[in-house]
Amino acid sequence: MKHTLQQVFHSGKFVVGFIIFMGLLLTTIIYPLIVRNDPLEIIGQGTFFPPGIYVSVYDSIGSTRYILNLDEAAANRIASKLTDTDRLAMKDWLVADGIPDYEIDTTDTVKLMDQWVSNYSPTASIPGMTIAKTRYYQRLNTSLEGILSKEGVTIATRNAESGALEETGTVLQSDYVNVGQVANVRLLPLGTENFGRDVLTELVKALSVSLQIGLVSGSVATLIGLTLGLLAGYVGGMMDDIIMFLTNLFTVIPTFVLLILISFSIGQEHRGPNTIAVVIGFTSWVWTTRAVRSQVLSLRNRDHVNLSKLSGHSIVHIILNDILPYIASYVVMAFVLQIASGILAEAQLSILGLGPRTTDVPTLGLMMNWALIYQAQVLGMWWAYIPVIVTIALITFSMNLMNTGLDHVFNPALRD
Amino acid sequence: MKGYRKYFLNKGLWFIVTFIIAFILNFVLPRLMPGDPVAAIVARMAQGSSNATGVQAIYKQYTELFHTSDPIVTQFVIYVRNALKGDFGYSISQYPRTVTDVIKASIMWTICLQFPAIIVGWLIGNTLGALAAYLKKGFDKVLMPVSIFVSNFPAFGMAVIFVVIFGVGLKWFPTSGGYGYDLMPAFTWRFIWSVITHYQLPFWSIVMIAIGGQAIGMRSMSIYELNADYVKYARFMGIKDSKIIRYVFRNAMLPQVTGLALAVGTMVGGALVAEIIFSYPGLGTTILTGVMGQDYPLISGVTLIITLMVLVATLIIEILYGFIDPRIKAAQSD
C-alpha cells in the first residue's frame, strides 16, 4: 500500500493533477473563512459590474484629504473623459484647419489638447461644414474647457427646513484620499453578475457545491457499478445475463436523454443538488460495471481465489479479500473520472434549465446558465462566464491528469 | 454478404429491443414520479389565477389529453398508437403547433450540424493521434497536452470561447441563430450563404471537442499496436515501413470505430448543449424552450427522437464495423 502510494506520487502527471485539485478544494475551505459574505447576497443594483475596487463616494468626501501635486493628473483626467469619437472629431477639425495629418496623434492626449487649444476658435468657419457640425464642435469645446478648468467642486447639503443649499466644503482637483482610510471599500475581484451578486464569492460556493455533486454522483455510480460488476462477474449464470442485458441496454440508450427525462419529471421544486447528484449517479454506472465484470471474470479462476474457495471462505470474504484488492486500482481510477463527468453532467443539465432549483445554492452549471440567459457572452461581460468555464475545465483537467497518472503506474504497457 | 446475415440479424434485433425499452422508459419514467403530473402542469399554468372553475376546466382538458384517468395499460396503448402515427399531441408552449411540427422544423438542423461535425472530428482526431504515435518527439509533445486539455473542456465551454473569439471579438462569423434574422428560409443565394456562415462556429466547436478525445484514444491504441510482435516480425522480414504502418493503423482503427458507436450518445448530448449557446434552431434549443415553457409533450417527443437518432447512428456504425473488421468476416465463413 505504502509502496503503491509512493509510486503514484512519483508520477508527474498525477502530482500536477493532485495539486490543482487540492488547490481548488482548499479554496472552497479557506475562502469562506476569510470572506464571510453570503454567496447569494445581492449587493449590486444593476447587472454586470466590472471587476475592481469599489470605493464609497460618500465616505471618501468625509475622509481626511491629502494634497498631492502630480504632473500627469490633469492629462489622465482628460484622457479618461475624452472618447475615441471625440478624438477623431478633433482630428478632423484640425486637419480641416490646415494642420498636416501626420502631426496629429489621437492617442497622445496632451499633444492633442495643446493643438486643439492653440488652434480652435469657435468663430472660425471651415468651408463645407454644416451648421450642426459647427455647433457640435462648439459644444465639444465647452465641455473640454470644463475639463480643463482648475477649480474644484463645491459640496452642498440641503437644509431640511428651508430647502436651500448650504455649502459645506469644496473638493480640489489635487485632493486625494487614502483608500485604507475610507470607511467603505469593497473589493470585487470578478465584479458582479446579472443579479448583482459578487462573482468570486458565488463562484467559490458554486465550486464547493459542484464538487459535492461530483462526489455524490461519483460514489453512487461507482457503488452501483462495482456491485453489479462483482455480481455479474463472480456469481455469473443467470445473474450475469440479466446484468449484462441491462448494461448493454443503457450503454446504447443515451444517458443524457434519461437525465433530461428524469430531471424534468422531478420538477423544479424537488430538485436539490443532492437529488440531481443521485440522478446523475444512477445514469452513469454502466462503464464501471462493464470493466469490473471483465476484470472479475479473469480473476475468478486464479489459484488464490480457488484456494480461498477450497478453504471454505464465504463469497463476501472472497470478494473482499481476494478480488477487490486486485481491482481496487481500477475502481479508484473510474471513481476519479466519474466525479469529473458528474460535474460536467450537472453543468449541462443546468444550461438546459434542468439543474438544481435556483433559490438555495449556486452551482457552476447554474452560474453558466444565468450568464447565458443574460447574454453575457455577446455583451462581452467576460467575468460572468470565463471564470466558471476555467473552473470547470480545471476540475476535469486535474481529474483526468490524476487518472492518466494512475493509469501509467498501474498499466506499465502504456509507459513510453 | 450472405455470411453477414447472422451478424446483421443480431445487431438488428438489438436495435429493436433497445428501442422498445427506450420507448417504454420514455413513457414510464415521467409516470413513476411522485405526484400527479397533470396537477403539476395545471398548477404552473394556472399560477395567479383565482378562478376555480377555470382551473378545473384546464385540469379536465389535460386529463383527457394525457388520458391520465385511464388505467396505465390503456394509456400505453393509446400512446403507442399515437406515436406510430407520428402524433405526440400539441405543444403547450407553442400552441397550436403540434409537437411533430416543432420537431420537424428543428430536426434537420441538428442532423446536418452534429453528424458531419462528429464524423469530421473523428477523422481528424484519429489522423492526428496516429501521427503523434508514429512521429513521436516534438509533434507528440505538442499535440498530447493540447488534446488532453481540449478533450477536458466541456462542449459548451468551447462553444462560448468560439463565440467570444470569432463572433464577438474578430466578428468573422455571426454569434447566434441558424440564419440571418432578417431572412426567410428560401432557396436563394443570400439565404444559403447566411446558413453557411452561421454553420461555421457551432460546427468547428463540436469538431474541436471530438478531435481531442479521439486523438488521445488513437494515440494509445497505435502505440500499443506499434509495439506488437507482428510489427517487430514484419520489420525483421524487411517489409517497408509504409506498409507496416498501414497494417498498424488498420488494427488500431477498429477499437476506435466501436468507441465511436459507444460515444455517439454522449457526443450528441454535449453538442445539444452547444447548440443552445449558439441559439442554433435545432433540437437542443427546442429542449430549452420546452423546459422554459414547462412543455411536457414537447420534451417527451424530442427525447424520443434523439434516442431514435442515436440508436440509428449506432446501428449504422456497427454495420460498417462488420464490414471492416476481418474477424467478423472470418467468424462468418466457418
ipTM here: 0.80
**Portion 171-200 of B in contact with A at CB < 8 A:** 175-176
> Residue B138, Cα to own-chain centre: how many angstroms?
34
CB B321 within 8 A of CB B261: yes
Name which residue leads in pLDDT, A383 or B57. Answer: A383
Q: How many CB pairs under 8 A join A and B?
A: 140
- Residue A416 scores a pLDDT above 60: no
**Portion 247-306 of B in contact with A at CB < 8 A:** 262, 265-266, 268-270, 272-273, 276-277, 284, 287-288, 291-292, 296, 299-300, 303, 306
CB A146 within 8 A of CB A156: no
| A377 vs A384: CA distance, rounded Å | 8
- Tell me what pLDDT residue A67 has: 87
The band of B46, judged by pLDDT with boundaries at 50, 70 and 90, is: low
A101 vs chain B: nearest CA distance in angstroms? Answer: 28
* Residue in B95, B73, B49, B26 with CA at minimum distance from that of residue B59: B49
Radius of gyration of chain A (CA): 33
Let me know how many helices (H) and strands (E) chain B has, helices first: 13, 0
| A293 vs A309: CA distance, rounded Å | 19
Interface test mutation site (partner A, options B27, B137, B164, max chain A beta carbons within 10 A): B164
| A346 vs A259: CA distance, rounded Å | 10
- Tell me what pLDDT residue A210 has: 94
Write out chain B residues lying below 8 Å of A397, CB-based: 148-149, 152
| B276 vs B286: CA distance, rounded Å | 9
Distances B195 to A97, B188, B204, B281 between C-alpha atoms, Å = 48, 11, 14, 11
- Tell me what pLDDT residue B176 has: 76
C-alpha cell belonging to residue A364: 457552476
Write out chain B residues lying below 8 Å of A393, CB-based: 149, 152-154, 157
Q: Which of A260, A340, A368 sits opposite B299 (nearest CB)?
A: A260
Average pLDDT over residues B272-281: 85
The band of A412, judged by pLDDT with boundaries at 50, 70 and 90, is: low
Write out chain A residues lying below 8 Å of B266, CB-based: 254-256
The predicted-structure confidence for A21-52, as pLDDT tens digits, reads as follows 999 999 999 999 988 888 888 888 888 899 99
- Whether chain B has a CB inside 8 Å of the CB on A378: the answer is yes
Q: Which amino acid is at A30?
A: I
Average pLDDT over residues B3-9: 79
| Angle CA B177–B291–B280, to nearest 5 | 10
Backbone angles phi, psi at A47, to 5 degrees: -105, 150
A185 vs chain B: nearest CA distance in angstroms? Answer: 32
Torsion of CA A350, A351, A353, A356, to 10 degrees: 10
| B275 vs B287: CA distance, rounded Å | 10
The predicted-structure confidence for B76-128, as pLDDT tens digits, reads as follows 888 888 888 878 777 777 767 888 888 888 888 888 888 899 899 999 988 88
- Residue A351 scores a pLDDT above 60: yes
- Whether chain B has a CB inside 8 Å of the CB on A244: the answer is no
Is the backbone peptide bond immediately before A412 cis, with ω within 30 degrees of 0? no
| B306 vs B288: CA distance, rounded Å | 14
